[in-house]
């Protein structure tokens, strides 16, 4: 029997034009776009009561708006690879964020709830594409800067998500229609990445990763246990994150916490992602027993909710911090996309599967949580449900963190 030839583990060479993106421009580009990937979603939760009341809506509308980011990130994220294959990674990001800025500026003044929802979907298009394309962009253009840019991406993503929640009530100013000014603020901020990435586009041109030689790396990602585990991990993490953004403020206020403090506690949970974003890309690059760390984040998720259930009087801040540290699973999952692939095209395909389908599955979380709350009237049932998802995350995270390469699994 003839032995199989050894696999070439040499990273795929990228087009020479990628060197035209200097470090300063790459840092500015990643920082500005990552900062704007979450506030359009996280700024709604703390304002939900006033917003829904302004349109004469009720609990169903609140549940819809809570689930909308996951649904949009999932469904619209499936368009990321097809769109970017036509106009390039950078071109897709520029075009989508033009629409984001317009939608964020217009939706607070929409007079009809259905129009508000439609503009919200449009405002989530850029983040949906960015979730998928930015890690692939970093893999393609990062070179020796890849770990550093992934660290910056994770950190700014956390800052944006935390700021959207923490600033929502203060920006509203305590007036009746203040929620409109609060939401409009992020439309102004979204203009910045449009300008920066327009400059990047002049350097990159059409920058979709080149196709590999015929027959290589063309297998289905469903053949990759690592890809499936990453998708499930994304799903459980996102389910928790967006249920926290949308429902945890209500759960905390029911426990006697003021609305403003509840928004701050949710922001603290998101803010821990700043630490995770700084730490986890380097940990992934250096630590071989990563699987136990990622599984531990799932167990911490369960512990945080059980703490709120069984010992809420100890300190809501303590349990918020436990849930925040558990949220390190998000920057870990993001950093694993380039870390578990070699070819930039495989990175794009993996990101285009793991995140969109993960978000679609995650969208069931706020819906189920809302249904449980409506049927039982008890926030304890919601917390037990979320605690169970932490155990699922622990199992999938353990498998996703094993030292396997998706390129090898799909071409085996």
Q: What is the pLDDT of residues 65-101, one digit of tens each?
A: 877 888 888 899 889 989 999 999 999 999 999 999 9
pLDDT at 4: 40
pLDDT band, very low/low/confident/very high, at 162 (cuts 50, 70, 90)? confident
Q: Quick check: 1 pLDDT over 60?
A: no
The predicted pLDDT at position 129 comes to: 94
The CA distance from 329 to 98, in Å, is 30
Across residues 20-47, what is the average pLDDT? 91
* Confidence label for 13 from pLDDT (cuts 50, 70 and 90): very low
* Phi and psi torsions of 6, nearest 5°: -65, 145
- For the cut 60, the answer to whether the pLDDT of residue 10 exceeds it is no
Higher pLDDT, 311 or 320: 320
CA distances from 52 to 58, 65, 396 (A): 6, 9, 36
pLDDT for res 211 = 66
Higher-pLDDT residue of 113, 349: 113
Above 60 in pLDDT, residue 344?
yes
Other CB atoms closer than 10 Å to residue 260's CB: what's the count?
Answer: 16
Q: What angle do CA 110, 114, 117 make, to 5 degrees?
A: 80
Region for residue 88 given its phi and psi (left: phi exceeds 0; alpha: psi -120 to 50; beta: otherwise): left
173 pLDDT band (50/70/90 cuts)? confident
Phi and psi torsions of 94, nearest 5°: -65, -50
Cβ atoms of 330 and 273 within 8 Å: the answer is yes
**Which tens digit of pLDDT belongs to each residue from 102-128?**
999 999 999 899 999 999 999 999 999
pLDDT of 313 > 80? The answer is: no
> Residue 230 — very low, low, confident or very high, per pLDDT cuts 50/70/90?
very high
Between 51 and 312, residue with greater pLDDT: 51
> Whole-angstrom Cα distance, residue 103 to residue 68?
15
Tell me what pLDDT residue 298 has.
Answer: 95
Does residue 42 have a pLDDT over 80? yes
Query: Measured between alpha carbons, how far is 97 from 151 in angstroms, rounded to an integer?
Result: 22
pLDDT tens for each residue of 374-412: 888 888 898 999 999 999 999 999 999 998 889 888 886
CA distance linking residue 278 with residue 139, whole number of Å: 18
Q: Which of 17-31, 149-163, 181-195 is predicted most confidently?
A: 181-195
Per-residue confidence (pLDDT) for residue 218, from 0 to 100: 62
pLDDT in the model for residue 214: 54
Task: Give the pLDDT of residue 8.
Answer: 39
Average pLDDT over residues 262-285: 80
* Whether residue 272 has pLDDT greater than 70: yes
| Pick from 176-180, 226-230, 259-263, 394-398: least confident | 259-263
Mean pLDDT of 164-187: 88
- The residue among 43 and 286 whose pLDDT is bigger is 43
Calculate mean pLDDT across residues 29-44: 93
Q: Is the pLDDT of residue 259 over 80?
A: no
Cβ(242)–Cβ(365) below 8 Å: yes
Residue 303 has pLDDT above 50, yes or no: yes
Query: What would the mean pLDDT of 332-351 be, rounded to a whole number?
Result: 85
Residue 216 has pLDDT above 70, yes or no: no
Q: What is the number of other CB atoms lying within 10 angstroms of the CB of residue 376? A: 11
Q: What per-residue confidence (pLDDT) applies to 321?
A: 92
Mean pLDDT of the chain: 85
């Amino acid at each position: 029997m003839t032995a199989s030839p050894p696999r070439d583990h040499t990273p795929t060479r990228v087009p020479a034009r990628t060197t035209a993106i200097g470090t300063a421009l790459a840092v500015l580009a990643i920082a500005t776009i990552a900062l704007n990937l979450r506030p359009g979603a996280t700024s709604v939760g703390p304002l939900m009561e006033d917003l829904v009341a302004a349109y004469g809506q009720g609990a169903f509308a609140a549940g819809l708006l809570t689930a909308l980011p996951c649904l949009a990130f999932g469904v619209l994220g499936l368009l990321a690879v097809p769109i970017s294959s036509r106009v390039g990674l950078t071109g897709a990001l520029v075009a989508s964020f033009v629409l984001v800025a317009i939608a964020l500026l217009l939706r607070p003044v929409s007079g009809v709830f259905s129009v508000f929802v439609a503009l919200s979907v449009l405002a989530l298009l850029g983040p949906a594409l960015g979730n998928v394309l930015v890690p692939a962009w970093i893999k393609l253009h990062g070179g020796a800067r890849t770990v550093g840019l992934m660290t910056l991406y994770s950190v700014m993503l956390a800052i944006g998500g935390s700021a959207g929640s923490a600033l929502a009530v203060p920006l509203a100013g305590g007036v009746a229609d203040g929620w409109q000014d609060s939401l409009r603020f992020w439309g102004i901020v979204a203009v910045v990445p449009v300008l920066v990435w327009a400059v990047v586009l002049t350097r990159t041109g059409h920058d979709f990763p080149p196709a590999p030689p015929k027959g290589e790396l063309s297998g289905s990602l469903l053949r990759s246990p690592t890809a499936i585990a990453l998708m499930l991990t994304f799903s459980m993490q996102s389910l928790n994150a967006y249920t926290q953004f949308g429902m945890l403020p209500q759960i905390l206020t029911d426990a006697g916490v003021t609305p403003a403090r509840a928004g701050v506690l949710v922001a603290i949970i998101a803010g821990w992602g700043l630490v995770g974003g700084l730490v986890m890309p380097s940990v992934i690059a250096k630590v071989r027993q990563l699987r136990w760390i990622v599984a531990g984040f799932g167990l911490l998720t369960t512990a945080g909710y059980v703490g709120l259930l069984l010992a809420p009087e100890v300190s809501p801040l303590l349990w918020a911090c436990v849930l925040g540290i558990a949220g390190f699973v998000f920057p870990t999952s993001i950093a694993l996309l380039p870390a578990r692939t070699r070819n930039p095209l495989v990175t794009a395909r993996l990101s285009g599967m793991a995140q969109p389908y993960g978000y679609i599955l995650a969208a069931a979380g706020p819906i189920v949580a809302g249904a449980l709350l409506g049927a039982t009237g008890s926030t304890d049932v919601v917390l037990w449900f979320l605690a169970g998802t932490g155990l699922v995350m622990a199992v999938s995270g353990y498998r996703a963190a094993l030292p396997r390469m998706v390129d090898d699994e799909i071409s085996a």
